Structure 1
Amino acid sequence: MGSATPLTLAEASDSDLLARHVAGDDHAFGELFRRHKDRMWAVALRTCRDPEIAADAVQDGFISAFRRAGSFRGESAVTTWLHRIIVNACLDRLRRIRPTTQLPEYDLSDPRDHHASTEVRLDIEEAMARLPDGQRAALVLVDMHGVPVAEAAAILGVAEGTIKSRCARGRAALAEHLGLRTTERTREPDAGPETS
């Protein structure tokens, strides 16, 4: 018997788990799913803006990853590969739906939730809903999840410059929408969006 014992599933790296799955380990992909399902769900929910569509996209994405695991070449992190699959599943679902879905309803009955912060959150969600899918996906990854531009570019399959451009345009559109909302409420015509 060799001195090195195989790593348990919990100790194995993501790429080891994927390799084990491809080699026929029935439990390896389950561990990969357990590790990353919450983050993938958060990305899907912010990209799709609808819990049912996001749930379907996450399911589609993980089924696709399960089936396509043998095509993973190790050129990026497993999480980057998973992000790409999940975001693409979201965008596919959104393209099929096209009539814009309503914003999800939230339970606003929590007494700790201040009216002003709830209003701002809903304003931001409404503004995000108006963005083109590509801009929204870039902003979700870069601004909301802190994914580096290079990794976001790999996830979405576009150049880094495209990610930067989509983020800049998306931020400008958000600022304009939120600025217009503020102007309407406060009736201050010279309160335009800030330039930074």
Structure 2
Amino acid sequence: MTHLEDLAQRTDRDLLAAHCAGDADAFGELFKRHKDRMWAVAVRTCRDPELAADAVQDGFISAFRRADSFRGDAQVTTWLHRIIVNACLDRLRRVKPTSELPEYELADRRDEHSSTVVRLDVQEALGKIPEAQRLALTLVDMQGMSVAEAAEVLEVAEGTIKSRCARGRAALAELLVDKHGEGYVR
């Protein structure tokens, strides 16, 4: 078995420990495993692919440099989520408000028109709710994290995540009902 094949078999914790011990390839394996998920978190948090790309780069550089700060009381993915979300928030704070036209994704030919409209409407509505609620909903409802994991990533109490999600869902429902009527929200 080659060194890279051995790395592919290791747990995230083992890879982080190997990186801290000087293994030049260990962090590359961690990056390879988690880059897509961290990209998705960044895009949903920043709502701008360019900002998200910069935030993912900043976040992984920060994780690379501060790997020895990992305490081990959470999963490595939770630790990475926190770093990426912080990098996104840093990038968002630095951006000056502009009045750009909203970006819409081109519909996939296989998508039905209605599912594309729903996705765009939800994206638009997410942009109108408070950032704290949007982040909680993104982590719990879109990324599939547990309430406990999301609380750890955002460094707030579990009850705070629950209330932010509840308020965010209610706000989304209200925005969607206002736009489309009662039968729209299922």
* TM-score after normalising by structure 1: 0.86
Alpha-carbon offset, residue 103 of structure 1:
3.9
Listed one character per residue, the Cα deviations across residues 106-161 of structure 1 (whole Å, up to 9, x for unaligned) are: 123x4322222111111000001112221111101100111000110000111111
Q: Which residue of 1 aligns with 2:123?
A: 125
* Distance in 1 separating the partners of 2:183 and 2:175: 10
Q: Which residue of 2 aligns with 1:188?
A: none
Q: Given residue 106 of structure 2, which amino acid in structure 1 is its aligned partner? A: D
* Distance in 2 separating the partners of 1:155 and 1:52: 23
* Consecutive unaligned residues in structure 1, runs of 5 or more: 184-190
Q: Which residue of 2 aligns with 1:105?
A: 104
- Of the two, which has the highest radius of gyration? 1
* Distance in 2 separating the partners of 1:85 and 1:58: 9
* 1:83 alignment partner, one of 81, 84, 107: 81
Say which SS state the counterpart of residue 127 (structure 2) adopts.
Answer: helix
* Consecutive unaligned residues in structure 2, runs of 5 or more: none
Q: Given residue 71 of structure 1, which amino acid in structure 2 is its aligned partner? A: S
Higher helix proportion (structure 1 or 2): 2
* Distance in 1 separating the partners of 2:80 and 2:66: 11
In structure 2, relative to structure 1, the CA distance for the partners of 1:96 and 1:162 (3 Å cut) is same
* Distance in 2 separating the partners of 1:111 and 1:165: 38
Question: Are 2:139 and 1:137 aligned?
Answer: no
Q: Retained in 2: the 8 A contact 1:138–1:167?
A: yes
Alpha-carbon offset, residue 193 of structure 1:
8.9
* 1:16 alignment partner, one of 14, 17, 27: 14
Alpha-carbon offset, residue 104 of structure 1:
3.1
* Distance in 1 separating the partners of 2:130 and 2:183: 23
Q: Which residue of 2 aligns with 1:27?
A: 25
Q: Given residue 169 of structure 1, which amino acid in structure 2 is its aligned partner? A: R
Identity of aligned residues (%): 68
| Matching of residues 160-175 of structure 1 within 5 Å | 160-175=158-173
Q: Retained in 1: the 8 A contact 2:45–2:138?
A: yes
* Distance in 2 separating the partners of 1:139 and 1:98: 25
Listed one character per residue, the Cα deviations across residues 21-58 of structure 1 (whole Å, up to 9, x for unaligned) are: 11111110000000000111111111111111111111
Q: Retained in 2: the 8 A contact 1:21–1:29?
A: yes
Question: Are 2:50 and 1:68 aligned?
Answer: no
Superposed CA RMSD in Å reads 2.1
Q: Which residue of 2 aligns with 1:47?
A: 45
* TM-score after normalising by structure 2: 0.91
Aligned residues between the structures? 182
Say which SS state the counterpart of residue 130 (structure 1) adopts.
Answer: coil
* Distance in 1 separating the partners of 2:131 and 2:117: 23
* Distance in 2 separating the partners of 1:102 and 1:52: 15
Say which SS state the counterpart of residue 6 (structure 2) adopts.
Answer: coil
